[in-house]
């Protein structure tokens, strides 16, 4: 009977194949005393298992497909480094010699200590490292317990077209499995930022994680359909479901091929208008997607993510390193660093003043920064120092008042003078731009444009504040409408104001990466779109298929329409029937 299981879709795409259930028994760690005469043999046995593990990991690393993402190699490098750590490869030897412990027990004891150290760390990234330690140690333990069959050989060779179902997957397993031809990953555990999630996205393999009980409900060779976009897994599907999914898979494949070919093409319309397609990022780790889509720069670096899941804010050096890392990866391309936008739904554990009354209308973003000047200046220093390494643009979120610009500029000048005095390099002409995401700023965009070097329309907040619907409140979600005439008018006003002032204007809210609105925005005169990198090639395809002159006329009709249904229909007509949103 067909069964549908739900999890978190972390890598989109559709796969249909038979299950390969990777069942690994939990390791039983033996504990015994080694007679004194055999202690050196035991040390030798340990060293051989470490060596076998090193060979296996290096071997897997060397067989990463050439087009694989950088993360695959870097995860394996991290695992090799952990293997070389004295706590893993040296300390157990001392226990074998001093306490006459068997190798498995000595290694397990040391790794438990190391994992406890990581668990005690404040930084969530480092805390997460305990998973890597556990995965490396498990591999060594399996080699100790099973010296004849190498760990890697426990996975059969014939996996072409199979869907792997596992409790969890280590990066090395994921790469090995990919090389053996598997078509999708399904795991019991994991979240959107787990290794499996990150790797499957960049290996381009559909994946669903957190399918609780997957290994329990699914048997080897069961037919599975993995819908990585929706996070649905069908077990033993009916023929009707299979043929529908086969149709969808073919459609996605066609589109993916087409999009891939566009990677190196220019974002230029049929009538020769060049459009900038930029990426939104939250952490330096997001850069893999940026490279994959060949974005022409960063239009929004949401720096608040560096401040989340921790009790103390990152200091100047840590921020500087994070900014420079991104800048160095994009030589010659603009990197738009947005200053801290904490508050409202962007919650941090850092001790900061908050507004209890109505967070969305309270002390958020630039308002908070102008109150917490010490915290803000640390960030400005880090951004300014980073500006010496590339083309950096500074962007202020949530402007509602022109005085806020003056106060930020004053602080920037103060920091610049401090840097000058101490002989630290920075870009003296760093452009300072502002987000237009509060209706007040959009309505008077001409006044804001006069004081700024560029504008960027944040439609997520602009829609929330214009339509008075909390962006995280499900009960009023149905009112969320980017095509509401008030929203479209504010967008058009902002674009016109920037054009009149002769400064660039971008859009960096979700609307910029949504194919349903691309043609309309092009028609309204938008020439810079910043979005999640995964949307970039689809948007590029639309740009390349468009004649801007036609879109201009059609957009004018949309703006003149007096009925929301007419707006909807006109926009659908611009997009052509059934076009726009794509599967995948």
- The residues that touch ligand PEP, with contacts defined as CB under 6 A, are 300, 302, 341, 437, 458-461, 508-509
Looking at beta carbons only, is 300 or 415 nearer to ligand PEP? 300
Find the shortest distance in angstroms from Cβ 29 to Mg ion: 50
Burial 71-102 (b: 16+ CB within 10 A, else e): bbeebbebbbebbeeebbbebbbebbbeebbb
3-state DSSP call for residue 552? helix
- Establish if 439 lies at the interface with Mg ion (CB under 5 A): no
Q: Which residue has the CB atom at the shortest distance from Mg ion?
A: 461
Looking at beta carbons only, is 380 or 531 nearer to ligand PEP? 531
- Give Rg (Cα) of the chain: 27
Partner touching 56 among Mg ion, ligand PEP, none, CB below 5 to 8 Å by kind: none
Distances (CA, A) of 223 to 232, 304, 434: 14, 43, 52
Locate 381 and state its tokens.
Answer: 């220093």
Map the footprint of Mg ion across residues 560-579, applying CB under 5 A: none
Partner touching 459 among ligand PEP, Mg ion, none, CB below 5 to 8 Å by kind: ligand PEP
Looking at beta carbons only, is 337 or 508 nearer to ligand PEP? 508
Find the shortest distance in angstroms from Cβ 463 to ligand PEP: 8
Q: Which of 79, 195, 369, 532 is catalytic?
A: 195
The helix or strand, by DSSP H or E, that contains position 531, with its residue range, turns out to be strand 528-531
Taking contact as CB under 5 A, which single stretch among the options 108-116, 198-206, 309-317, 454-462 is the one that binds Mg ion? 454-462
The helix or strand, by DSSP H or E, that contains position 327, with its residue range, turns out to be helix 316-329
Q: Are strands 232-235 and 223-227 parallel, antiparallel or unpaired?
A: antiparallel
- Walk across the sheet containing 232-235 and list its strands: 3-6, 232-235, 223-227, 14-22, 163-166, 184-187, 207-209, 8-11
Looking at beta carbons only, is 173 or 437 nearer to ligand PEP? 437
Task: Decide: residue 557, CB within 10 A, 0-12 exposed, 13-18 middle, 19+ buried.
Answer: middle
Find the shortest distance in angstroms from Cβ 459 to ligand PEP: 5
Find the shortest distance in angstroms from Cβ 412 to Mg ion: 21
Find the shortest distance in angstroms from Cβ 344 to ligand PEP: 8
Q: Is 369 a catalytic residue?
A: no
> 28: Cβ–Cβ under 8 A, 6 or more apart, which residues?
none
Partner touching 151 among ligand PEP, Mg ion, none, CB below 5 to 8 Å by kind: none
Looking at beta carbons only, is 14 or 508 nearer to ligand PEP? 508
Task: Decide: residue 281, CB within 10 A, 0-12 exposed, 13-18 middle, 19+ buried.
Answer: buried
Which residues does the annotation place in the binding site for Mg(2+)? 437, 461
Q: Which of 79, 369, 508, 532 is catalytic?
A: 508
Partner touching 110 among Mg ion, ligand PEP, none, CB below 5 to 8 Å by kind: none
Options 437, 510, 528, 538; binder of Mg ion; rule CB under 5 A: 437
CB 80 within 8 A of CB 135: no
Find the shortest distance in angstroms from Cβ 404 to ligand PEP: 16
Partner touching 201 among ligand PEP, Mg ion, none, CB below 5 to 8 Å by kind: none
* CA–CA separation, 551 and 340 (whole Å): 36
Q: Are strands 232-235 and 276-281 parallel, antiparallel or unpaired?
A: unpaired
Options 92, 458, 482, 504; binder of Mg ion; rule CB under 5 A: 458
Which residues does the annotation place in the binding site for phosphoenolpyruvate? 302, 338, 460-461, 471
Residue among 13, 10, 529, 514 nearest 256 (CA): 13
Catalytic residues: 195, 508
- The site for Mg ion (CB under 5 A) is made up of 437, 458, 461
């Amino acid at each position: 009977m067909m069964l549908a299981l739900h999890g978190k879709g972390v890598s989109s795409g559709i796969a249909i194949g038979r299950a390969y259930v990777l069942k690994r028994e939990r390791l039983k760690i033996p504990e015994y005393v080694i007679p004194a005469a055999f202690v050196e043999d035991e040390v030798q046995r340990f060293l051989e298992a470490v060596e076998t593990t090193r060979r296996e990991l290096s071997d897997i690393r060397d067989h990463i497909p050439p087009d694989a993402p950088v993360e695959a190699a870097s995860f394996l490098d991290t695992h090799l480094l952990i293997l070389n750590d004295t706590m893993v490869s040296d300390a157990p030897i001392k226990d074998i010699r001093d306490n006459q412990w068997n190798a498995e027990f000595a290694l397990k004891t040391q790794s438990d200590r190391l994992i406890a150290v990581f668990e005690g760390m404040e930084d969530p990234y480092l805390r997460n490292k305990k998973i890597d330690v556990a995965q490396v140690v498990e591999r060594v333990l399996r080699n100790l317990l099973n010296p004849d069959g190498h760990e890697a050989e426990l996975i059969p060779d014939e996996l072409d077209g199979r869907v792997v179902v596992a409790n969890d997957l280590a990066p090395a397993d994921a790469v090995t499995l990919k090389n053996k031809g598997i078509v999708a990953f399904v795991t019991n555990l994991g979240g959107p930022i787990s290794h499996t999630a990150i790797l499957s996205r960049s290996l381009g393999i559909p994946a669903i994680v957190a399918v609780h009980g997957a290994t329990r409900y699914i048997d080897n060779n069961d037919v599975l359909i993995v819908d990585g976009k929706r996070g649905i897994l069908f077990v033993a599907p009916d023929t009707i479901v299979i043929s529908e999914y086969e149709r969808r898979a073919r459609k996605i494949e066609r589109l993916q091929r087409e999009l891939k070919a566009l990677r190196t093409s220019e974002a230029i319309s049929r009538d020769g208008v060049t459009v900038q397609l930029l990426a939104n990022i939250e952490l330096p780790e997001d850069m893999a997607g940026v490279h994959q889509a060949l974005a022409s720069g960063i239009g929004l670096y949401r720096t608040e993510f560096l401040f989340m899941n921790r009790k103390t804010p990152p200091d100047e050096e840590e921020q500087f390193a994070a900014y420079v890392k991104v800048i160095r990866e994009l030589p010659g391309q603009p990197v738009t660093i947005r200053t801290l936008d904490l508050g409202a739904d962007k919650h941090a554990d850092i001790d900061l003043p908050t507004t209890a009354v109505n967070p969305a209308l309270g002390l958020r973003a630039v308002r908070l920064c102008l109150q917490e000047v010490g915290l803000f200046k640390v960030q400005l220093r880090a951004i300014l120092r980073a500006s010496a390494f590339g083309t950096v643009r500074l962007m202020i979120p949530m402007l509602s008042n022109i005085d806020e610009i003056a106060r930020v500029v004053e602080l920037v000048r103060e920091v610049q003078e401090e840097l000058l005095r101490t002989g630290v390099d920075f870009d003296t002409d760093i452009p300072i731009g502002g987000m237009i995401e509060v209706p007040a700023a959009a309505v008077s965009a001409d006044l804001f444009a006069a004081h700024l070097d560029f504008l960027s329309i944040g439609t997520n907040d602009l829609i929330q504040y214009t339509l008075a619907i909390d962006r995280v409140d499900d009960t009023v979600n149905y009112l969320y409408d980017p095509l509401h005439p008030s929203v479209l008018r504010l967008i058009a006003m902002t674009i016109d104001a920037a054009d009149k002032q002769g400064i660039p204007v971008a859009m960096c809210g979700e609307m910029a990466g949504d194919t349903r609105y691309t043609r309309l925005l092009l028609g309204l005169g938008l020439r810079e779109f910043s979005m999640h990198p995964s949307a970039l090639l689809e948007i590029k395809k639309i740009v390349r298929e468009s004649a801007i002159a036609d879109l201009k006329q059609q957009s004018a009709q949309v703006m003149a329409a007096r009925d929301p249904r007419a707006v909807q229909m006109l926009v659908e007509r611009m997009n052509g029937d059934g076009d726009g949103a794509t599967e995948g």
